[in-house]
Amino acid sequence: MTQPPFDTGAAPQQVPPRCYRHPDRETYIACQRCGRPICPDCMNEASVGYQCPECLREGQAHVRQARTAGGGLVPGRPGVVSTTLIGINVAAYLIMSVTGGLWLSPLYQWGVMLADGGVFQLPDGSLAALDGVADGAYWRMLTSAFLHASILHIGFNMYALYLFGPVLERYLGTARFLAAYLTSAVAASVFVYWLSGVHTPTLGASGAIFALFGMALVIMYKQGQDVRGLFALLAINVVITFLPGLDISWQGHLGGFVTGLVFGAAFAYAPRERRNLVQYAVFGAVWVGIVGATVARTLQLA
């Protein structure tokens, strides 16, 4: 016959709570939302106490993110897209310069805007067969916006991008700014495709830069800012565009500026309650126009 264990009257020893994500760690801190124990590595400071990672993510998912005046998310690092675009343009210019320069560089031959292909005589006397957009080299409509002919050419364009890019990034948000810049570059090439000589090579970011001018003009006007300085800058650029001997693509400038005005109106005047719908519709309409005009010109040249 067994006897019951001797009762000392002492309470049973309690096991200290352990972090629900790290069971090997003792802790006496609990999440303020769900009450689960959390260790220092899992603690996220809240307005009152601490929260676990899951509760923190759940709370952030229901927090409305701040928006810019143009409807985009407030960029964490304003100007990063502009700086990146400048870096790409400078890198492309250096690569083209050290691999032969205009016409001789493989990068130039691959990326320059060329409506119709053919056999071209290069500066060194050799011949090169190049495909144009009409031959299916559609990438030229974008890649040409990252190539430049001289230090003065890239210097002016990148300085303008440095001045206007970050300002528009803050207003539009990162995604909208990048989409507008690249779309405007392609739209400018569409004007070149239709209005320039079919064997005339075109390159440079000027089309996209003039789009920034157009967007800035509409947005500044909507905000009641003084646009006389911008008008003066545009007038100077128009005069330079048509100076004899400079061989500047007025077609690309015109295409970029018109596209910039369209985007500027969509960003500045879209009703707040239907802002995303209006802006997405404008982007869609511009791309329908780009594709339609490109197909029509390609069929014409074919």
Does the active-site annotation cover 206? yes
| Torsion over CA: 106, 107, 108, 110 (sign) | positive
Active site residue 253: yes
| 39's tokens | 């260790």
Range list of H helices, the chain: 53-61, 80-98, 106-111, 140-143, 151-172, 174-195, 206-222, 228-241, 250-269, 275-301
- Give the number of C-alpha atoms closer than 13 A to the C-alpha of residue 202, restricted to the C-beta side: 34
For residues 256 and 209, is the Cβ–Cβ distance under 8 A?
Answer: yes
What residues have CB less than 8 Å from 186, skipping those under 6 apart? 141, 142, 145, 290
Measured CA to CA, the distance from residue 276 to residue 274 in angstroms comes to 6
Question: Distance (Å, rounded) from C-alpha 91 to C-alpha 7?
Answer: 83
Largest CA distance in the chain: 119
The tokens for 201 are 């090579």
Reported as type and span, the H/E element at residue 128 is strand 127-130
DSSP run (H or E) holding 119:
strand 118-121
Say which of 82, 144, 189, 253 is annotated catalytic.
253
Q: Which of 82, 105, 196, 206 is catalytic?
A: 206
Provide the annotated active-site residues.
206, 253
